[in-house]
Amino acid sequence: MKAWELIVMAFRTIIGNPMRTFLTMLGVVIGVSSVLTLVSLGRGTSEAIEKQYESLGTNLLVVNVMGNGRAQQLDYSELMDIEQFPEFATIAPTVTQSGANLKYDRTKESYSLIGTNDRYLNIVKTQVDKGRFLSPADLDFRNHVVVLGSEVAEKFFGTSDPVGEVMNIDGFNYTVIGKLKAQGSNISGTSADSTVFVPLETARRDFKLGNIRTTYIEAASKEDVTKAQETIEQYLTYKFKSSTGYRVMNSDQLLTARVAASSTLTRQLVSIACISLLVGGIGIMNIMLVTVSERTREIGIRKSIGAKRHNILFQFLVEAGVISGLGGLIGLIVGIVLSLVWPLFNPEQSTSLSLDIGLYAFAFSVLVGVIFGLYPANKASRLKPIDALRTE
């Protein structure tokens, strides 16, 4: 029997039991569509991270202090003195509070709060939409002023100009002096749009934030990055009397770390999605075993009129392959649709359609169907004609 005849027979069997066939393919459909969608999301995230770091330039350094106590404490004035070295352009120390409680009129909400200086705006390439950003005078006099991210401003003030309004932050009154333009995620992986910015020392005093944990440094040029990194590492080693307790990363290292983390998470999610393919394969095997039992008499008739063992084996293998392949094709279409419509429902997360991965998932689904269909097909091919014809 020719291959196309086997395929036609397989489709006749599928059409004869549409609901059972659909339930059999469901695991394969979910597996293939999940793999394609998750990989598209992962690639979209990686591309967004790369664009984000490209916009920041290649001369950025980030200092993270891991230790606690006075021995691991950075002094703001000393950090700003280092800025005088020719290899440094800008230094912006920060302290962070993840859930500051903001209140204005009857509206209450929690947002991230960053205490920093006037240099932060230039380092993260953020732009002011209304009003102004923090100034050196705000830090010197520990003024109670705040700059709002675009999302925060919209939440409390809608389309109105928030400049000059007074907000309550964790029990302290702050005057709004500026609003930032919408930007998206910043270099720390959080959204600047959902963050409020206050003078560094004011934040440390009012919110008991303690030591400076993260400092952003912009080298004078790309060629000065290595020298700037060496200088800040020498300062920290001298300051902490140890080469541990801190970490200094440049733009390339930050990009590599972020992309690697995103890729690792994507691989883990894809591995979980592949389990659906294996479950789908088990479902195909179970249904094929049922099919063999239902068609035992048909197998006996075919063998009695001259069908060889390999003819019966290929018949059921093709049927299993067609079922899994059809499920993989449906899963491929579903995955493409999900990848395209996802940004419409979640504009902050982009996707990058990965048809190559989809084709691999489709091929794997067919392979799974054939492998799991091998046992039922082999069982069918081993039936003796006399025993099969006796079956009611």
Which DSSP string corresponds to 148-178?
E-HHHHHHHHTTS--TT-EEEETTEEEEEEE
Closest CA to 129 of 107, 154, 106: 154
Is 88 in the same domain as 19?
no
Residues 109 and 139 occupy one common structural domain: yes
Domain boundary among 184, 210, 244: 244
pTM above 0.85, yes or no: no
Same domain flag for 240 and 303: no
85, burial (CB in 10 Å: exposed 0-12, middle 13-18, buried 19+): middle
Q: Comparing C-alpha atoms, which of 91, 90, 179 is closest to residue 127?
A: 179
**Has residue 61 been placed in a domain?**
no
3-state secondary structure of 78: helix
pLDDT for 87 equals: 94
Q: Are residues 12 and 39 in the same domain?
A: yes
Continuous segment of H or E residues that includes residue 351: none
| pLDDT, position 361 | 85
Identify whether 382 is part of a domain. yes
Q: Specify the pLDDT at position 376.
A: 84
Q: How confident is the prediction along the chain (392 residues), in pLDDT tens digits per residue? A: 566 776 777 777 777 788 888 888 888 898 888 888 888 888 887 777 666 665 555 688 999 998 777 778 899 999 999 999 999 999 999 999 999 999 999 999 999 999 999 999 988 888 999 999 999 999 999 999 999 999 999 999 999 999 999 999 999 999 999 999 988 665 555 678 999 999 999 999 999 998 899 999 999 988 898 999 999 999 999 998 888 889 998 877 766 666 676 777 777 777 877 787 788 888 888 888 888 877 777 777 777 777 777 778 888 888 888 888 999 999 999 999 998 898 888 876 788 887 788 888 888 888 888 888 888 888 888 777 766 666 65
Instruction: Answer yes or no: is 94 within a domain.
Output: yes
Dihedral class, residue 158 (left if φ above 0, else alpha if ψ from -120 to 50, else beta): left
Give the pLDDT confidence score for residue 3 in this predicted structure. 66
Specify the pLDDT at position 387: 63
77 and 128 both lie in a single domain: yes
Q: Tell me, what's the pLDDT at 286? A: 85
Same-domain pairing of 197 and 308: no
Which residue from 193, 121, 129 is spatially nearest to 155, judged by alpha carbons?
193
- CA angle at 264 for the pair 258 and 265, rounded to the nearest 5°: 95
State residue 346's pLDDT score.
81
Asked if residue 38 belongs to a domain, the reply is yes
Domain assignment present for 250: no
CA distance 285 to 280: 9
Same domain, 33 and 166: no
Residue 124 carries which DSSP code? T
Residues 328, 369 within the same domain:
yes
User: In this predicted structure, what is the pLDDT of residue 185?
Assistant: 61
> 263-266, long-range: CB within 8 Å, 24+ apart, which pairs?
263/42, 263/46, 265/42, 266/38, 266/39, 266/41, 266/42, 266/43, 266/45
pLDDT of residue 245: 86
Q: Coil, strand, or helix at residue 299? A: helix
Of 210, 244, 278, the domain-final residue: 244
Contact 63, 246 (CB under 8 A): yes
Same domain assignment for residues 17 and 73: no
* Partners of 65 in beta bridges: 246
What pLDDT, on a 0 to 100 scale, did the predictor assign at position 177? 98
Position 392 scores a pLDDT of 54
**Can you name the residues that pair with 109 across neighbouring β-strands?**
102
Question: 334 vs 120, 220, 269, 280, 338, CA distance in Å?
Answer: 44, 49, 18, 16, 6
Which residues span the domain enclosing 278?
3-51+257-390
CB atoms within 10 A of CB 274: 17
Q: At a CB cut-off of 8 Å and minimum separation 6, what does 171 contact?
A: none
Per-residue confidence (pLDDT) for residue 54, from 0 to 100? 57
Phi, psi of 126 (to 5 degrees): -95, 150
Considering the domain architecture, whether residues 240 and 209 belong to the same structural domain is answered as: yes
Cα–Cα distance between 255 and 235 in angstroms, integer?
A: 24
Q: What is the pLDDT of residue 136?
A: 94
Same domain, 356 and 308: yes
Domain total for the chain? 2
H helices of the chain, in order, are: 3-16, 18-56, 76-82, 120-123, 136-140, 150-157, 200-206, 225-240, 251-294, 296-304, 309-345, 355-381, 385-390
- Both 184 and 269 in one domain: the answer is no
Note whether 303 and 383 are within 8 A (CB). yes
Residue 251 lies in a domain: no
Asked whether residue 91 is domain-assigned, the answer is yes
Q: In this structure, is residue 88 part of a structural domain?
A: yes
